[in-house]
């Protein structure tokens, strides 16, 4: 198959080194062009994320050492060899499928990696660096990832605190589109929570923070309303859901404040989700009628259960990947017979056509309808004669000694097989079309 993976990831490479390996999309393509020219590769795609930098290469198996040396010089990092991994052929394809299906991600089942992989592949395809082999491999990887997501629930359960907070809100309110949300804090955890909330189409977003400019920036990014922190008490009652994530050392929301809010809301309940450490919301508010509060320990328990569920689902995902690999391997093997079969059919049809035209020229003038009937009869006869040999050659292609049989057929019939076009063959497989993000 001549497929190779060279990479560095979060499992073997410390973050301070991974930071230095980070490449912009433009840098990825430029480096890919350098590698392709220097080592005469049959295809290259580079994936660069915060957790991994990987090179997917064709025809690199004899040059892996030199390629790694070039990359060490490119990044000026002598220690790259200490944590590099190389994977070849079918094992490399298995790794690619696992990456696409997020089984190799730091957060099992996270959805971002598939989009990142598609973007990288598209960039290299646009500049014609993918060659003939990588196209069917990557498109099959994308369809495999889709199967994993549709046939398992590996991506359905929250495994981050921010995501879990929003999932909890969804359980509390069946329809978040009617709910107004107040987010207290403008840090990374708060922004992640806002991103998840916006995907679920909340009615209104309020953001407050001790530094108003930070609140305004976050609110503007998601079309929300920034509230000065000093005005929190004035606006808190407007929120159905309150998510708090600040670095405060004391409680920001007290039972007395919530009492006033509930009074203004006329018994409409309020739900508080506290993802701060130390806590922002006094747990005593749980004693108030109509107020419900969940803290990070509650969420962590949910996250732990979901992580276990994702691990169970990953077993199903592994089975899907192995099935896809088996199909891909059989498909590749069957392709080895295609040039011989095509050449055999071409040769037989050419001989049949010559004999038919020679015979028709000796006959009296035939009506056009009868001439077409003779041509159709000869065409069908050739197809029938070659049907079983073609089918058997495809079966033989799966055997280890297939090349011996194919060589024999080529010599016996004096054929001149043309190598198969992998991209065209891939297009003839309906399951292997690119799935857009």
Catalytic residue numbers, as ranges: 50
- Rounded distance, CA 225 to CA 216, Å? 8
Query: Which helix (DSSP H) or strand (DSSP E) does residue 206 occupy?
Result: strand 204-209
The two tokens of residue 189 are 């955890």
Q: Which of 173, 161, 157, 301 is nearest to 244 (CA)?
A: 161
The arrangement of strands across the sheet holding 43-48 comes to 43-48, 52-58, 3-9, 85-88
The two tokens of residue 391 are 């089918």
Q: How far apart are the two ends of the chain, measured CA to CA in Å?
A: 28
Query: Which helix (DSSP H) or strand (DSSP E) does residue 331 occupy?
Result: helix 296-335
Q: Which of 63, 6, 73, 65 is nearest to 39 (CA)?
A: 63
The two tokens of residue 373 are 């009937």
Q: Which residues contact 214 (CB under 8 A, 6 or more apart)?
A: 186
CB-neighbour burial class of residue 118 (10 A; exposed 0-12, middle 13-18, buried 19+): buried
**Residue 145 and residue 114 in contact, taking contact as beta carbons nearer than 8 Å:** yes
**Residue 186 and residue 211 in contact, taking contact as beta carbons nearer than 8 Å:** yes
For residues 94, 111, 170, 218, the Cα torsion angle rounded to the nearest 10 degrees is: 160
**Residue 182 and residue 239 in contact, taking contact as beta carbons nearer than 8 Å:** yes
Q: Where are the alpha helices (DSSP H) in 200-295?
A: 212-221, 232-235, 255-265
**Residue 79 and residue 16 in contact, taking contact as beta carbons nearer than 8 Å:** no
3-state secondary structure of 131: coil
- Rounded distance, CA 72 to CA 405, Å? 45
Q: Which residues contact 157 (CB under 8 A, 6 or more apart)?
A: 109, 167, 305, 306, 307, 309, 310
- Burial pattern 28-40, b for ≥16 Cβ within 10 A else e, equals bbebbeebbeebe
């Amino acid at each position: 198959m001549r497929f190779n993976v060279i990479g560095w990831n979060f499992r073997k490479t410390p973050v301070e080194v991974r930071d230095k390996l980070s490449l912009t999309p433009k840098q990825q393509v430029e480096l890919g062009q350098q590698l392709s020219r220097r080592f005469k590769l049959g295809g290259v795609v580079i994936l660069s994320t915060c957790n991994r930098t990987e090179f997917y290469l064709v025809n690199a198996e004899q040059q892996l050492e030199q390629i790694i040396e070039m990359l060490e010089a490119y990044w000026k990092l002598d220690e790259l060899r200490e944590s590099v991994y190389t994977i070849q052929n079918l094992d490399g394809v298995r790794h690619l499928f696992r990456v696409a299906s997020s089984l190799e991600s730091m957060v099992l089942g996270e959805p971002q990696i598939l989009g990142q992989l598609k973007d990288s592949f598209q960039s290299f395809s646009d500049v014609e660096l993918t060659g003939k082999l990588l196209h069917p491999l990557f498109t099959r990887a994308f369809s495999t990832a889709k199967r994993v997501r549709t046939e398992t629930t590996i991506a359905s359960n929250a495994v981050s605190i921010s995501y879990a907070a929003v999932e909890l809100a969804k359980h509390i309110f069946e329809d978040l589109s009617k709910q107004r949300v107040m987010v207290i804090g403008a840090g990374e955890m708060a922004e992640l929570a806002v991103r998840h909330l916006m995907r679920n189409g909340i009615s209104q977003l309020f953001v407050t923070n001790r530094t108003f400019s930070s609140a305004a920036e976050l609110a503007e990014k998601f079309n929300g309303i920034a509230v000065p922190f000093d005005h929190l008490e004035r606006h808190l009652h407007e929120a159905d859901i309150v998510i708090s994530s600040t670095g405060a050392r004391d409680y920001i929301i007290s039972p007395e404040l919530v009492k006033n809010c509930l009074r203004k809301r006329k018994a409409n309940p309020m739900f508080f989700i506290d993802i701060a450490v130390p806590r922002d919301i006094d747990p005593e508010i749980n004693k108030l009628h109509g107020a419900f509060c969940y803290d990070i320990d509650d969420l962590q328990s949910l996250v732990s259960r979901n992580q276990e569920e994702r691990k169970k689902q990953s077993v199903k995902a592994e089975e899907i990947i192995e099935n896809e690999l088996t199909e891909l391997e059989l498909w590749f093997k069957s392709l080895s017979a295609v040039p011989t079969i095509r050449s055999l059919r071409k040769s037989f049809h050419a001989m049949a056509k010559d004999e038919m035209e020679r015979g028709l020229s000796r006959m009296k003038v035939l009506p056009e309808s009868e001439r077409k009937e003779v041509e159709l009869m000869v065409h069908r006869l050739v197809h029938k004669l070659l049907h079983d040999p073609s089918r058997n050659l495809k079966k033989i292609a799966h055997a280890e000694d297939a090349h011996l049989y194919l060589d024999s057929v080529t010599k016996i019939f004096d054929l001149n097989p043309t190598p198969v076009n992998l991209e065209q063959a891939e297009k003839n497989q309906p399951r292997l079309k690119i799935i857009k993000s």
